[in-house]
């Protein structure tokens, strides 16, 4: 397809220089392109809450000669998405059900190999350095990426005193949770296609506050990287409605190991403290039956052997 992701790429490339109204348009088109394709410039402006002239200037800013050419790009984007959906259906039909497990696991292995071959070790080392020196560490990963953010935040909390995971999907609440972020802090943003606009806005806000921004995404062309100087890339594509997160999770695991080695003394101290707390509150004890008063358990005679 001639326009494969072209419109979204242009939006991502120009996003930092767009006006406030144009950014509203960018967000709406990224999320509601299947509706926007049917709108005139006036109708699109009405849907977003901006003027028709803002829509026309937006199309021009993206490099289109006018709104009709912009609308053509929208049509191509919708066709591309439909093509992708059909492609998934076709590939599902071709899968050998008897070898499905094997095929999926081998595909994940390929994603891991590709990630190993493409990742920049100096960027990885820079990420560990920025995180280890930060006063406060913020982590954001929404929708399907929330489980990656959960995993990362859980282990970072064992090594660092101030780790804050942003879980809400409300943009206003995201800003409320980040209101104190500054130049001494770092934020780790995790997102894969379709990219979360709320995650992008959080990184933009952090960048505006001069915080260090680290991204974990699928490509150096990811829109998250507009606000980051440290981009960690892990492949996630799989011919399925659900993308594979095996390589991103493995990358995050490597990041955790590297950070724990840097903060080994702190990690050991935290684990020892937790062990004492677990013992005091019997969080992890022996088998639960040990806590029963066995004298209260009714005894039954064993059946005689035949």
The domain segmentation of the chain, as residue ranges, is 6-96, 125-266
Q: Which helix (H) or strand (E) holds 305?
A: none
pLDDT of residue 284: 67
C-alpha 98/C-alpha 88 separation (Å) is 19
C-alpha 110/C-alpha 56 separation (Å) is 44
Residues 253-277, mean pLDDT to the nearest whole number: 88
Please check whether residue 114 is in contact with residue 234, taking contact to mean a CB–CB distance below 8 angstroms: no
Residue among 214, 169, 217, 215 nearest 192 (CA): 217
Which contacts of 131-135 are long-range, i.e. CB under 8 A and separated by 24 or more positions? Answer: 131/156, 131/160, 131/186, 131/188, 131/214, 131/255, 131/259, 132/259, 132/262, 132/263, 134/160, 134/184, 134/185, 134/186, 134/212, 135/162, 135/184, 135/185
- Any idea what DSSP says for residue 110? H
pLDDT in tens, 179-233: 999 999 999 999 988 788 889 999 999 999 999 999 999 888 788 888 888 999 9
pLDDT of residue 189: 96
Reduce the DSSP state of residue 87 to 3 states and report it: helix
pLDDT in tens, 216-228: 998 887 888 888 8
When pLDDT is cut at 50, 70 and 90, the band that residue 241 belongs to is low
Query: Cis before residue 194, ω within 30 degrees of 0?
Result: yes
Task: Give Cα separations from 124 to 85, 134, 164, 251, 289 (angstroms).
Answer: 34, 16, 21, 9, 47
pLDDT of residue 87: 43
What CATH architecture applies to the domain 125-266? 3-Layer(aba) Sandwich (3.40)
pLDDT of residue 92: 47
pLDDT of residue 226: 85
What CATH architecture applies to the domain 6-96? Orthogonal Bundle (1.10)
Which range is most confident: 24-38, 66-80, 167-181, 272-286? 167-181
Mean predicted lDDT score pLDDT of the chain: 82
Q: Which helix (H) or strand (E) holds 186?
A: strand 186-190
pLDDT in tens, 99-116: 778 877 887 888 898 888
pLDDT of residue 22: 92
- What's this model's pTM, rounded to 2 decimal places? 0.65
pLDDT of residue 77: 78
């Amino acid at each position: 397809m001639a326009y494969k992701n072209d419109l979204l790429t242009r939006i991502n490339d120009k996003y930092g220089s767009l006006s406030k109204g144009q950014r509203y348009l960018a967000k709406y088109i990224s999320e509601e392109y299947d509706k926007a394709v049917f709108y005139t410039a006036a109708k699109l402006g009405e849907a977003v809450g901006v003027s028709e002239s803002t829509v026309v200037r937006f199309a021009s800013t993206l490099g289109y000669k006018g709104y009709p050419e912009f609308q053509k790009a929208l049509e191509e984007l919708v066709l591309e998405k439909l093509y992708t959906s059909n492609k998934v259906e076709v590939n599902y039909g071709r899968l050998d059900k008897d070898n499905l497990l094997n095929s999926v696991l081998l595909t994940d292995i390929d994603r891991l190999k590709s990630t190993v071959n493409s990742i920049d070790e100096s960027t990885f080392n820079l990420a560990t350095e920025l995180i280890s020196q930060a006063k406060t560490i913020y982590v954001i990963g929404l929708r399907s990426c929330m489980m990656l953010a959960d995993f990362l935040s859980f282990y970072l909390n064992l090594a660092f005193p101030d780790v804050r995971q942003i879980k809400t999907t409300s943009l206003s609440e995201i800003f409320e949770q980040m209101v104190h972020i500054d130049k001494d802090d770092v934020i780790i943003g995790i997102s894969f296609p379709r990219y979360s606009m709320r995650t992008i806005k959080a990184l933009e806000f952090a960048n505006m506050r001069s915080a260090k921004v680290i991204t974990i995404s699928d490509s150096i062309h990811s829109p998250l990287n507009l606000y980051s100087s440290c981009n960690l890339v892990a492949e996630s594509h799989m011919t399925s409605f659900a993308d594979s997160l095996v390589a991103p999770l493995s990358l995050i695991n490597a990041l955790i190991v590297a950070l724990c080695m840097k903060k080994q003394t702190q990690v050991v101290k935290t684990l020892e403290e937790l062990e004492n707390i677990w013992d005091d509150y019997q969080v992890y004890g022996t088998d639960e039956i040990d806590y029963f008063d066995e004298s209260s358990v009714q005894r039954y005679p064993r059946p005689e052997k035949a």
